[in-house]
Amino acid sequence: MTRLVIATRRSRLALWQAEHVKAQLAALGHKVELLAMTTRGDELQQAALAAAGGKGLFIKELEAALADGRADLAVHSMKDMPAELPPGFVLAAITAREDPRDAFVSGRYAEFAELPAGSIVGTSSLRRQAQVLERYPALEVRPLRGNVDTRLAKLDRGEYAAIVLAHAGLKRLGLAARTRSLLSIEESLPAPGQAALGIECLSTRTDVQALLAPLADSASSTCVRAERAVNRSLGGDCTIPLGAFAELQAANLRLRALVASPDGRRIVRAEAIGEASDPEGLGRRVADALRGKGADRILAALSK
């Protein structure tokens, strides 16, 4: 029996994800413990995520625990992981993906089309914000930070007419009933890796990598690798308004992606089909197509 320690954030969703991986490892005969931690990203609840330093703020403390030997592996939401990992770390496994779609959540309205002009919509994602405003420019989108329960509480207090969350997170927490309607992939292209879990460890821990290999899902891994390659090719920042979604079609892989201005006024889209055996190559090809349509100019304007 191997003893393993999983580093995880303390939020209810993060703990669910870590417990999910723990159960899988326990079923393989390993003794597993959790090391729950508060990250910088959890502490900075008022600042906009992009301004505060990006989603990498959610994983740095977990990586420190891996580096100093307090933990053997860390469990992350793949959409929160930077496109490039720091030297010395490796993504050992990507687990089977949940439903990747975004959810429309509201106490009063069933879908976006019902919201009156001027209604306030909450989201922490510039990607979601841009796609909402592209279709519904009369709405007002305001930042929404905090864990899933905090965001739902703000909605229930009347601070927002509706909010947009990942349906996978609601489902994992037993809150799927809070989803009033699911946004199609065409309506709201997901973030790279959305609804998949990633398991990280030190690149030198080949023993841990071997133990984690049975948890990897080949189909999900192929799709997520293509999506992350788009982001990596365009700069690797997981806070930029970028969506990417891949799906297997027999031996081929279909990849759709977009880059947008936060106000939704400029959105460029591209898609391609390639061999599933080269997901990174397909991701780079779609990123090049986005560049050809002006993605670099949109991204450059964000840094000014």
pLDDT tens readout for residues 273-285: 999 999 999 999 9
User: Are β-strands 31-37 and 181-182 bridged in parallel, bridged antiparallel, or unpaired?
Assistant: unpaired
Mean pLDDT value of segment 185-205? 97
Going by pLDDT thresholds of 50, 70 and 90, the confidence category of residue 42 is low
What CATH number has the domain spanning 102-182? Answer: 3.40.190.10
Q: What pLDDT score does 39 carry?
A: 73
80 given a catalytic annotation: yes
Cβ atoms of 47 and 40 closer than 8 Å: no
Q: Tens digits of per-residue pLDDT, 221-230?
A: 999 999 999 9
Pick the more confident residue, 96 or 48: 96
Reply yes or no on domain 231-302 having CATH 3.90.470.20: no
Q: Tens digits of per-residue pLDDT, 104-162?
A: 999 999 999 999 999 999 998 999 999 999 999 999 999 999 999 999 999 999 999 99
Cβ atoms of 198 and 94 closer than 8 Å: yes
User: Are β-strands 162-166 and 120-123 bridged in parallel, bridged antiparallel, or unpaired?
Assistant: parallel
Asked whether residue 5 carries a pLDDT value surpassing 60, the answer given is: yes
Q: What pLDDT score does 52 carry?
A: 47
- Residue of 115, 39, 129, 32 whose CA lies nearest to 80: 39
Q: Which amino acid is at 81?
A: M
Q: Where in the chain is the domain with CATH 3.30.160.40?
A: 231-302
Cβ atoms of 176 and 167 closer than 8 Å: yes
Mean pLDDT value of segment 57-78? 94
Over 29-85, what HEC string results? CCEEEEEEECCHHHHCCCCCHHHHCCHHHHCHHHHHHHHCCCCCEEEEEHHHCCCCC
* CATH class of the 3-96+196-216 domain in this structure: alpha beta
Q: Which entry of 72, 80, 102, 237 is annotated as an active-site residue?
A: 80
Mean pLDDT value of segment 198-211? 97
Q: What pLDDT score does 240 carry?
A: 86
Asked whether residue 55 carries a pLDDT value surpassing 60, the answer given is: no
> Measured between alpha carbons, how far is 73 from 246 in angstroms, rounded to an integer?
27
* Cα 38 to Cα 42, 61, 65, 199, distances in angstroms: 6, 8, 12, 18
- The rounded mean pLDDT for the chain is 93
CB within 8 Å of 98: residues ≥ 6 apart: 167, 168, 171, 172, 195, 196
Q: What pLDDT score does 43 carry?
A: 52
Question: How many helices and strands in the chain, by DSSP H and E?
Answer: 11, 13
Q: Which amino acid is at 299?
A: L
Q: Where in the chain is the domain with CATH 3.40.190.10?
A: 3-96+196-216, 102-182
> Measured between alpha carbons, how far is 233 from 248 in angstroms, rounded to an integer?
21
* Cα 211 to Cα 19, 63, 214, distances in angstroms: 17, 19, 7
Q: What is the DSSP letter of 180?
A: S
How large a percentage of the chain has pLDDT more than 90? Answer: 88
